[in-house]
Amino acid sequence: MNKQEFAHRRKHLMQLMGDSGVAILPAAPMRLRNRDSEYHYRPDSDFYYLTGFPEPEAVAVLIPGRKHGEYVLFCRERNPDMETWTGKMAGQEGAVADYGADDSFPIDDIDDILPGMLENKQRVYYTMGTHPDFDQRLIGWVNSLRKQSRAGIHTPGEFVSLDHLLHDMRLIKSGKEIKAMQTAARISARAHCAAMQACKPGMKEYEIEATLMHSFMQQGARFPAYNSIVGGGANGCTLHYTDNNAVLKDGDLLLIDAGAEYEYYASDITRTFPVNGKYSTAQRAVYELVLEAQHAAIEQVRPGKHWNEPHEAAVEVLTDGLLKLGILKGTKKTAIKNESYKPYYMHRTGHWLGMDVHDVGDYKVADEWRVFEPGMVLTVEPGLYLPATHKRLAKKWWNIGIRIEDDVLVTKTGCEVLTSGVPKSPDDVEALMAG
Ligand code: GLY
Ligand code: MN
Ligand code: MN
């Protein structure tokens, strides 16, 4: 993303806020992995979406109508000693020159400067609860203003969650965002192909994870968008399995749910394939059912359809199929009504996708399912999970866990599957593995 994109986002948000509001966004804190060793720093998506600023210990303030500049960034002062250890810092000069701030102050001076920016404003846009320490500081600044009311200082009377405005903006992707997401999707699709080609019985799940990570990085994506799920056999029935340390067995399926993050945008792909390169009859029967459900769900993604329609389509196909396979009994109508499919399909058919893998954006508006609009991106990911621990499940189905997940962009006329670069028909998967 270039500077103009971030500037455009800030301008748009300030137009929505109006001159009587101030928005405050703190950067996420660093997190420790052990003692004094930190996790790699990844800015909070809301903060980064508006600033493009990659450092911790920063606070962005948007003050529409402020004479000396509407965008103020508090950040760390440059510190040559610290730069020797951890690299270059932007400092106040860099915040203005490289990151488009109109004005920048040292983060250590925020207690003295920020309260004045709230004076005589009516509304503070801020997301409570994400950074509890910062919540307390903000309350302190507001209280300090209240004490000055006799001096004629007016304290903001309304605290409004920033989410409504900002997350609605993030939900509809711009051309540049779509490009980044297409790249993330392409990188991940290639990595899944590499994983299919590398897989052999006897390998450890994490060896396949290594293939994925190697492929992501080789293609310019340094990090995965979330912890990769690489689950063989019964592990494929654990929805968010991330131990990834079991041996892959001949005759088992392998479920991989992994996606690269590229320029802060996520991709999210699941494929399920046979460890030995050939689906068994039972595995293929369940696989084809999940695939049919996924096709039916993707059919429902287009402007005018609502959020729940893909899920409803998937549930209908899966329920019908479970009845035909003899896993469920009764009629389709009652099985759907009673949610009899839920022991085997217990999650939703997708989620919004963007800078966060489970991205922001409301799924309902005024209690009605949200209607699809061009620029929205979502996943479509039906599955079926048949662990051996399930009572009354015939042995031939034991430990079949299957999910098929693609990333889908809503276009003006329908949708575009961004992750079509990795095969999903069982014949195509087998052909790739054999090749
Ligand atoms: N990887 C998490 C999900 O598919 O939602
Ligand atoms: Mn996933
Ligand atoms: Mn997903």
pLDDT tens digits for 268-296? 999 999 999 999 999 999 999 999 999 99
CB distance 177 to ligand 1 below 6 Å: no
Distance between Cα 404 and ligand 3 center (Å): 10
Atom in ligand 1 nearest the alpha carbon of residue 229:
1
Whether 154 is catalytic is no
Atom in ligand 1 nearest the alpha carbon of residue 403:
4
Residues 6+ apart with CB under 8 A from 179: none
Angle between helix axes 281-299 and 426-434 (nearest 10 degrees) is: 120
Whether 351 is catalytic is yes
Report how far residue 395's alpha carbon sits from residue 383's, in angstroms, rounded to the nearest whole number: 19
Pocket residue to mutate for ligand 1, from 351, 402, 406, most atoms within 8 A of Cβ: 351
Domains of the chain: 3-169 (3.40.350.10), 172-434 (3.90.230.10)
Residues 6+ apart with CB under 8 A from 189: 269, 419, 420, 421, 422
pLDDT at site 214 = 98
pLDDT at site 151 = 77
CB distance 356 to ligand 1 below 6 Å: no
* Active-site residue, from 284, 347, 370, 390: 347
* Active-site residue, from 103, 257, 261, 406: 257
pLDDT at site 152 = 79
pLDDT, tens digit only, all 435 positions of the chain: 999 999 999 999 999 999 999 999 999 999 999 999 999 999 999 999 999 999 999 999 999 999 999 999 999 999 999 999 999 999 999 999 999 999 999 999 999 999 999 988 999 999 999 999 999 999 999 888 888 877 777 888 889 999 999 999 999 999 999 999 999 999 999 999 999 999 999 999 999 999 999 999 999 999 999 999 999 999 999 999 999 999 999 999 999 999 999 999 999 999 999 999 999 999 999 999 999 999 999 999 999 999 999 999 999 999 999 999 999 999 999 999 999 999 999 999 999 999 999 999 999 999 999 999 999 999 999 999 999 998 889 999 999 999 999 999 999 999 999 999 999 999 999 999 998
Q: How is residue 81 written in tokens?
A: 């000693």
Distance between Cα 270 and ligand 3 center (Å): 8
pLDDT at site 365 = 95
Atom in ligand 1 nearest the alpha carbon of residue 257:
1
CB distance 205 to ligand 1 below 6 Å: no
Q: Are 254 and 284 in contact (CB under 8 A)?
A: no
- Nearest Cα neighbor of 233 from 190, 267, 258, 199 is 199
pTM: 0.96
Report how far residue 335's alpha carbon sits from residue 323's, in angstroms, rounded to the nearest whole number: 9
CB distance 381 to ligand 1 below 6 Å: yes
Report how far residue 309's alpha carbon sits from residue 369's, in angstroms, rounded to the nearest whole number: 9
Which 3-state string (H, E, C) describes the chain?
CCHHHHHHHHHHHHHHHCCCEEEEEECCCCCEEECCEECCCCCCHHHHHHHCCCCCCCEEEECCCCCCCCEEEEECCCCHHHHHHHCCCCHHHHHHHCCCCCEEEEHHHHHHHHHHHHCCCCEEECCCCCCHHHHHHHHHHHHHHHCCHHHCCCCCCEEECCHHHHHHHHHCCCHHHHHHHHHHHHHHHHHHHHHHHHCCCCCEHHHHHHHHHHHHHHCCCCEECCCCEEEEHHHHHCCCCCCCCCECCCCCEEEEEECEEECCEECCEEEEEECCCCCCHHHHHHHHHHHHHHHHHHHCCCCCCECCHHHHHHHHHHHHHHHHCCCCCCCHHHHHHCCCCCCCCCCCCCCECCCCCCCCCCCEECCEECECCCCCEEEECCEEEECCCCCCCCHHHCCEEEECEEEEEECCCCEEECCCCCCCCHHHHHHHHHC
CB distance 407 to ligand 1 below 6 Å: no
CB distance 359 to ligand 1 below 6 Å: no
* Active-site residue, from 385, 406, 407, 430: 385
CB distance 159 to ligand 1 below 6 Å: no
